[in-house]
Amino acid sequence: MAVIRQFVNEDLGCASYLVGDAEAGVAVAVDPPFEIEELVEAAAADGLRIERVLETHTHADHLSGHGRFALEHGLPVAIHRIAAAEYPHEPLEDGDEVLVGTVSVRVLHTPGHRPEHCAFVVGDEAVLTGDSLFIGDAARPDLAVEAREGAEELFHSLARLAQLGDRVTVYPGHVAGSLCGGKMSSERASTIAAERITNEALRFRDVQDFVLVSASVSTPRPPTTERVVALNRGPFVARPADPPELADAGGATVLDVRPFADHAAGHVPGSISVPLDGGSFGTKAGFVLVLDEPLVLHARTHEEALDAARKLWAVGILDVAGYVLAPQATETTATVDVAELKRLIDSADVQIVDVRENSERDAGYIPGSRNIPYRLLRKAGCGGLERGKPVVTVCESGPRAAIAASLLQREGFDVRPVARGGVADFADTVSFRRCGA
């Protein structure tokens, strides 16, 4: 029987695997994260020697660890031929068999998310579906090709997966929290039989009906897609050196990774607040940072700074110049509570900015508010807001409003976020409007 170990990056919702033969003492790493240490340590603890890396596809949302395995451990990397990988690799084809001791891993070509995408069928007991079939959902088809083209291929790939045995365990490449699927379950594994019953993506019988729904992607694209794809397709990427502690940030952009309450109490003027404790740190940072800008972290401790750096590496942000622990933090940010926001709704003297996604606003919004997703504020020149008028930022529950406030404050706006609570607190009041109402 095969050994299958799952590892989940909670920040990104990405899953990696060790597939091994315990008796033979060998394993392969599938879709490894850039921080490969957890897999290496787990294999050693289980008495397994990792002998190869298998990639389901060229990842677009996170940096793979295949380069580190090749550079640090001398392992070969295998990926489908049409991935056009620029690094030394073993080309895979549909139907190929990779033997891990006596365990058979069969390559099942499942394009849709990307043209080269493959699933890996482990014996007759499990399938590692990568970014094709998720638990409760299916992959988005718009990251590599035109959405309708990708969706049509994905429909046929899902049909191939659905033909596997009912008892075959499904191990996905993403879990809830990822940008790659909007309806993913919090469950980490399922079965083909269970997915046939519960997964809406497997209920379609007509390809055009599936394309119509699947190609209508509303979730924003991962912010560093092009850069991460280029890194994952190109020469092997080595682990950067740990960022050093600095006396000050110099002229670099400061990313404040402390809790927002600390940022509000005192921060480096012009710094951007993306707290580590807010969830999806790497994705949020990727949305608001500009590619290749000099970057310094503001953290509370050395360990917090290194944690932030590793999470940035995971999304392809590799150039972290250093970190500061006690800089000149002379700027503060005032906040607004929900009660005060309700009093401000009818005020002509304040701009209320809803920083959620458009799709979220469609479910209901605060009258008089403007919708500018936080991830677009820096790139859209602050969305044409009036500079002489105070701004209040609001989201569903607080975290994104706080990030948005830091972005606007660095541009000179008088801004206060609703840092605790938000639009959700208006659902049962007459002030809350639903689209079309």
Residue 1 burial (CB count, 10 A) = 11
Per the DSSP assignment, residues forming a β-bridge with 296 are 254, 322
Give me the CATH topology for the region 338-426.
Answer: Oxidized Rhodanese; domain 1 (3.40.250)
pLDDT value at residue 180: 47
pLDDT value at residue 348: 78
Cα 55 to Cα 85, 95, 173, 358, distances in angstroms:
11, 15, 11, 34
Q: What is the C-alpha to C-alpha distance for residues 113 and 134, in angstroms, rounded to an integer?
A: 12
pLDDT band with cut points at 50, 70 and 90 for residue 154: very high
Pairing relation of β-strands 49-54 and 118-122? Answer: unpaired
- pLDDT digit string, tens, across residues 376-428: 998 877 778 998 899 999 999 999 999 999 999 999 999 999 999 999 888 76
pTM of the full structure = 0.92
pLDDT above 70 (res 436): no
pLDDT value at residue 219: 72
pLDDT value at residue 248: 95
pLDDT band with cut points at 50, 70 and 90 for residue 98: very high
Domain ranges of the chain: 3-226, 240-324, 338-426
Fold match, 3-226 / 240-324: no
For residues 156-169, average pLDDT:
95
pLDDT value at residue 181: 47
- 3-226: CATH superfamily: Ribonuclease Z/Hydroxyacylglutathione hydrolase-like (3.60.15.10)
CA 430 centroid distance within chain: 36
Give me the CATH topology for the region 240-324.
Answer: Oxidized Rhodanese; domain 1 (3.40.250)
Locus of tokens 């990307």: 114
pLDDT value at residue 291: 84
pLDDT value at residue 367: 85
CA 81 centroid distance within chain: 26
